[in-house]
Structure 1
Amino acid sequence: MKYSWIFMGVLILGACKQQPNVSKNDSTRSDAEIVMDTIPKDTIVEQKKTTLKTFEGIADTTFVRLADFSEDFAYDMRYATENNFLKAKVYDCPECYTRAKTAKALIRANKDFMEKGVKIKFFDCYRPNSVQYKMWEIVPNPQYVANPDKGSIHNKGGAVDITLVDLEGKELDMGTDFDYFGKKAYHDNMDLPQEILDNRKLLKETMEAHGFWSIRTEWWHYNLSAAFNDKVANFKWECPD
């Protein structure tokens, strides 16, 4: 019997040592708060919430960074890489800027796309006119690059080059890569598998419903009608350090 009491005492003492370091005021604290005190502070990582901007007080012609207003887009900014038809990097860093009115229309269109299980992925957005001159020096062909003296709607902040991806980021099949210059990329080319035609139709009809119009030879290119009369700009965004 004597040894049994000693054995029980050892068990109780061991159990007490395994308890968290509880203060006298812990009777007023939750179990979760007490447990958090036992976790080394350097293992706790705070999750920072991204605060998106609103368009309140922003003029429609102001240039805005699209990612500041929505987290629902995907990006593959090709001209900030050498993976483009120029085979040259002409942007210092990958950013997607547009006029505010273009951004609003894109967010509305993307909301419709997401209800159908897809979303917009950008290849190009606003393009400074100085970059247009760089592109013209590399490929001085108006069939592929707009003459910078006149400029394009890309230079006005009203044009985007896009495709669609599913909500996991996988691109829908549009039949060609971005910047494929040939009849296979034409909107009026019906000699394609039905899946591709359906994907292009979804892209085109949804964008048109939100004020954009396409060009016949490029399934990826969309212009905002309301931006047609805007001025060519040479606004340049700042790159992160």
Structure 2
Amino acid sequence: MTRLGSLLRGLAASATALLAVAATAPAAHSSTEPQAPQEFVALRTVAPTIIQEMRYITPHDFMGEPVDGYQQPLCIVTRPTALALARAQRTLLREGYSLKVYDCYRPQRAVDHFVRWAKDLQDEKMKAEFYPRVDKSQLFADGYIAEKSGHSRGSTLDLTIVKLPALPTAPYRPGQKLVPCYGPKDERFPDNSVDMGTGFDCFDTLAHTDDPRIQGVQRENRQFLKKTMADVGFTNLPEEWWHFTYSPETFPDTYFDFPIAWRSVAGH
């Protein structure tokens, strides 16, 4: 068996395990919940080898709690976006890497949750990791939080690159000591991705893709990700090295609010 074949078999096995977890995860829901349009798919059904580490269903995010609307650890995107991601993944696998997604489609109720949290200036329990140098009162003015997000349109996602074979990411334990997201890789929260100079969702100018302070291997890794995604039709948000939007967007002007759950895309 070729090395690529072994990598694919390993990733497929991991995907099967993640599907089993997602399928059995409890999720309270209403029968009146909106469904995703037919143009949306679960990424797993199109590109099963892409690693999924969906952060917002866990307490390891800048709020320190699971986000509204994330009912299962699932990446949902529009079908053209998923197909483009699959093309990027094939390229990376040949070079011994894999994509890893942190967040994909994001319901409007999740964005509303972010906004409520940002307005509560007393809640800073995750500040030491995610925004140690930013005053919380400035999150709107500095563009870190907004009342609308391109994620809600289905063609935007947050992702990184992992060197294969992928090592497991250590679980976050609520209450553990927090380390600045821009610290050295061996000091900040452990992540099995290549070193991008900051962690995901780092509210700091060091997260700007082309920040001149990011040099060496970290800069090379950012440019590697940016080029890989650009080659299949994605545009990077300059303020966030992890943030990409596929063009043309299937829904350029529509912000959806269906929950992130398998039933939302059932039968697609």
Using the size of structure 2 for normalisation, the TM-score is 0.63
CA pair 61-189 structure 1, distance change in 2 beyond 3 A: farther
Which residue of structure 1 aligns with residue 243 of structure 2?
221
Task: Pick the structure with greater CA Rg.
Answer: 1
Out of 134, 148, 153, which is 2:150 matched to?
153
The runs of at least 4 consecutive aligned structure 1 residues that moved more than 4 Å come to none
Which residue of structure 1 aligns with residue 203 of structure 2?
181
Which residue of structure 2 aligns with residue 236 of structure 1?
259
**Per-residue deviation, residues 92-151 of structure 1 (Å, max 9, x unmatched):** 22110001111111111111111221111011000111211111111254311221xxx2
Using the size of structure 1 for normalisation, the TM-score is 0.69
Specify the SS of the correspondent of 1:126.
coil
Structure 2 unmatched ranges of 5 or more = 1-12, 17-36, 120-138, 167-191, 264-268
**Structure 1 residue 61 displacement after superposition:** 6.3
Matches within 5 A, 1:159-198: 159-169=156-166, 170-198=192-220
Structure 1 unmatched ranges of 5 or more = 1-46, 51-59
Ranked by relative contact order (alpha carbons within 8 Å, sequence separation 6 or more), the top structure is 2
What's the RMSD between the two structures over aligned residues?
2.1
Which residue of structure 2 aligns with residue 205 of structure 1?
227
**2:95, 2:260 → 1: CA distance?**
33
How many residues of Structure 1 are paired with residues of Structure 2 in the alignment? Answer: 180
Does residue 97 (structure 1) correspond to residue 119 (structure 2)? The answer is no
**Structure 1 residue 236 displacement after superposition:** 2.0
Matches within 5 A, 1:84-163: 84-90=61-67, 91-140=70-119, 141-142=139-140, 143-147=143-147, 151-163=148-160
Tell me if structure 2 keeps the 8 A contact 1:102–1:158: yes
**1:218, 1:173 → 2: CA distance?**
15
**Per-residue deviation, residues 206-238 of structure 1 (Å, max 9, x unmatched):** 111111111111100001121162411112243
Tell me if structure 2 keeps the 8 A contact 1:92–1:239: no
Tell me if structure 1 keeps the 8 A contact 2:97–2:163: yes
